[in-house]
Amino acid sequence: MTHQSTAKDGISAGYYRLFAAGIINGIGDRFSQVAMLSLIFQLTGSGMAVGLSLGVKLIPYLALAPLGGFLGGKLPRKTVMMATDIARIPFALSFLWVTGEDRLWLLYVGSFMLAAGEAIYAPVRKSSIPLLARRDALLRTNGMEQMLTGCVLILGALTGGFVSHWFGPQTAFVLNAVSFLAAALILSGISFPHTPPEGLGDEDEGLHGTDMAAKAGAGERSSSPKSLPALIAGSVCLQIVLGYELLVSLVSGLDNVLISVYAIRVFNAGDIGVGVFYASLGAGLTLSFWTGRLVKRNLLAAALGGLLLEGLLHIGISAAGSFAAVCGLYVLASLASGIVSASLDTLLMRETPARWQPLLFGLMTAAGSMVLGLSMLLAGYLLTRMEPRLMGLAGGVCFAAIAVVLGAYAWMKDRRGRKVSVLSRTP
């Protein structure tokens, strides 16, 4: 594989364009989301309506994320991403016509269509990363992806809160449409390398400069079964990553809904409070890029330890008595979450042959998003039956329990002689 203008750090110039487009696209989306949630709460005052608005965005992922993975393996990835960006512009502008509770259906339809585009876009973008960075740079690149999310939350959510508060939600909706166009223009400058043919050793590509252990691991996977189910069945590491995706998504919906409810209902901080909480999450994810570089060996242990810590911090959030304390705990919780995500994404990319990555990422996105959407709907319902702090406590306990269960699974497989196949970080 020939990487486009590969730099000394193993990351191509094309990835930096992908990174920049992701920031612009993400900031626009956060502008719109903060404004949308605030508008819904103002019009209805209902936690159920907030949960419905978040949940409906995830429904398209069930069918369209696998389609995105399929398209990513068959069509030029740049073309797919640019097309989905441009197609979402009119739906982003449709939010301008939501002027009362009787027109909320426009918001739900628009959210559904925006999510449909993202469902196709997301797996294509993620499967592009290994094509734009060498294997030994994947952990750093995935750390940058967490920093990207952090920057989006800080610049998008915090600024979006102020924009929505001072200029109205309509301004945020227009800026979201503009961001799609700007991101498409940036993506147009990427030159993706050709994907290796099916029969060639795609796991050997990009190994230049890595150590012999990494090359040996690639050689073992090149002789792995030729079907995706067989690949998953033969890798304990992949099984744990997939288990994490499903189980954590089942709980994350509670936290996603609680962020707005904590800010507006518990602390009476309004739009700006929602933005500050999201900015706190962004600060933690940004910090995870640097703290995550301290993880040099056993990425799986780092991920599960981080998940356990994240659960404990969410328990602390549910009991915190001040707005400032919750902000600080959100910073720490998202820092742990960033390390978890970067570690597991790196393991997933290392363990999965390139030819299977688009489809696997699409299927994971579909399954995780479906579960997350159901979780958000459940959260909206539970908020009509229980206090937000009690729901937050339950979510934190569940995060910690998932870490323990997955750790126990890995330990039992290791005791039975099933190699987990976790590669250390290469220098």
Per-residue pLDDT of the chain (427 residues; tens, 9 = 90+): 444 444 557 788 889 999 999 999 988 888 888 788 777 877 776 666 766 776 677 678 777 888 887 887 788 889 999 999 999 999 999 988 887 777 888 888 888 899 899 889 988 898 888 888 888 788 888 889 988 988 887 777 667 767 777 877 888 899 999 999 999 999 998 887 654 433 333 444 333 333 322 333 344 444 445 678 888 888 888 899 999 999 999 898 888 888 888 888 888 887 678 778 888 888 999 999 888 777 767 888 899 999 999 999 999 999 998 999 999 999 999 999 999 999 999 888 888 887 788 888 888 888 887 888 788 778 888 888 889 999 999 999 999 999 999 999 988 887 776 555 544 433 3
Q: Kindly report the number of other CB atoms within 10 A of residue 250's CB atom.
A: 18
Pick the CATH number of 13-194+210-415 from 3.40.50.720, 1.10.540.10, 1.10.3720.10, 1.20.1250.20: 1.20.1250.20
Q: Residue 167 contacts by C-beta under 8 Å, 6 or more apart in sequence?
A: none
Number of C-alpha atoms within 13 angstroms, CB side, residue 279? 18
Q: pTM of the prediction?
A: 0.75
How much is the pLDDT for 61?
Answer: 79
Rounded Cα–Cα distance for residues 200 and 310 (Å): 41
Please classify residue 323 by burial: count the beta carbons closer than 10 Å to its beta carbon, then call 0-12 exposed, 13-18 middle and 19+ buried.
Answer: middle
How much is the pLDDT for 220?
Answer: 40
Q: Kindly report the number of other CB atoms within 10 A of residue 267's CB atom.
A: 17
The DSSP element (H or E) to which 252 belongs, if any, is helix 236-261
Measured between alpha carbons, how far is residue 93 from residues 32, 97, 210, 224, 242 in Å?
A: 10, 8, 47, 48, 36
**3-state class (DSSP) for residue 210:** coil
How much is the pLDDT for 73?
Answer: 76
Beta bridge partners of 11: 133
Burial 165-184 (b: 16+ CB within 10 A, else e): beeebbbbbbbbbebbebbb
Please classify residue 413 by burial: count the beta carbons closer than 10 Å to its beta carbon, then call 0-12 exposed, 13-18 middle and 19+ buried.
Answer: middle
Residue 141 near residue 11, CB atoms below 8 Å: yes
Tokens 């998940």: give the residue: 307
Residue 255 near residue 386, CB atoms below 8 Å: no
Nearest to 173 by CA among 80, 49, 39, 277: 39
How much is the pLDDT for 194?
Answer: 59
Count, residues in the chain: 427
Domain spans of the chain, in order of start: 13-194+210-415
Q: Residue 154 contacts by C-beta under 8 Å, 6 or more apart in sequence?
A: 279, 282, 283, 286
Q: Is the dihedral of CA 43, 46, 50, 55 positive or negative?
A: negative
Nearest to 224 by CA among 356, 338, 73: 356
Rg of the chain's alpha carbons, rounded to an integer?
21
Beta bridge partners of 133: 11
Measured between alpha carbons, how far is residue 354 from residues 31, 118, 223, 241 in Å?
A: 34, 22, 14, 17
User: What tokens does 307 get?
Assistant: 């998940």
Burial 365-402 (b: 16+ CB within 10 A, else e): bbbbbbbbbbbbbbbbebbeeeebeebbbbbbbbbbeb
* φ, ψ dihedrals at 137, nearest 5°: -105, 5
